[in-house]
Amino acid sequence: MGQLGIIGGGMMGESILARLLALGLWLPEEVWVSDPAEERRRFLQQRYGVTACQENAPVAQCEVVVLAVKPQSLAAAVAGLGDAPCQLWLSIVAGVSLAQLESLLGCGAVVRAMPNTPARVGAAVTALAAGTGVTPSHMELAHRLFGAIGAVVELPESLLDGVTGLSGSGPAYVALMVEALADGGVAVGLPRAIAEKLALHTILGTAQLLAETGMHPGQLKDQVTSPAGTTIAGLRCLEQGGVRSALIEAVVAAAARAKELGST
């Protein structure tokens, strides 16, 4: 697959790097990472055995380059890289369109990717959108790379704002639910540590059950809900509190904000 470059050695860049090396998709000597912070470069080089540098130009000499910088840093990061030999750019830069990326980079095929924070434990979900000039072999490579950090879906670019609102921001929504469930446990007398463990594993186990069985969430809800039982009493409170509507509106609001940021 040739050499891999990563421009931006922050948490997401490191998450991708760690998983790719752990799975043996690239060897440390085949990977170049650039980051402006000397301490960060030293850490990445010592921890993973990759080549770390301050300048982005050497990284752009790789066949495949992951752009993992903040949107406001992108223009400076790619300045002067237009004639780089990179064959495939994989951008996880939020809110920057394929057209903007292709204009800035000036060469190579470009794929936009929207992963989320569970990448750190190999449990992300990443949406991919292909730019002009992207071939099936490019997309196959993109699937392999992002498959190292979790599940992968392929969508038109027009839907990536919706992905941001759902799976990009979604970990915060789920974390809020874990926290609220644990608080409920404390309210009924459970020790905090036990309540947090119960809440976390309830959500984790439910998600795993739905994923492995393919069961519709409504079906599982109905299986747990007995007539005049405890679960329906709790569900009634959730419906009265507008939890379902609030989650829908959270996704819609986050997607709208992502669109606003992308247009600035």
Q: Would you kindly state where each structural domain of the chain is located, as residue ranges?
A: 4-156, 168-262
State the pTM of this model.
0.92
pLDDT of residue 262 exceeding 80, the answer is no
Half-sphere exposure of 199 (CA within 13 A, CB side): 20
Average pLDDT over residues 39-58: 96
Start-end of H helices in the chain: 11-22, 38-48, 74-78, 98-105, 136-147, 160-163, 170-187, 192-213, 217-224, 230-240, 243-262
Per-residue model confidence (pLDDT) at position 173: 98
Which residue type occupies 53?
Answer: C
Task: Look up residue 222 and give its two tokens.
Answer: 């109905």
168-262 has CATH 1.10.3730.10 classification: yes
pLDDT of residue 128 exceeding 90, the answer is yes
Q: Name the CATH superfamily housing domain 4-156.
A: NAD(P)-binding Rossmann-like Domain (3.40.50.720)
Average pLDDT over residues 179-199: 98
Average pLDDT over residues 2-22: 95
Nearest residue to 92 via CA among 24, 38, 35, 11: 11
Can you tell me the distance from the alpha carbon of 147 to that of 119, in angstroms, rounded to the nearest whole number?
10
Average pLDDT over residues 231-235: 97
Quick one: what percent of the chain has pLDDT higher than 70? 99
Average pLDDT over residues 194-208: 98
pLDDT confidence of 82, banded at 50, 70, 90? confident
pLDDT of residue 1 exceeding 80, the answer is no
Quick one: what percent of the chain has pLDDT higher than 90? 89
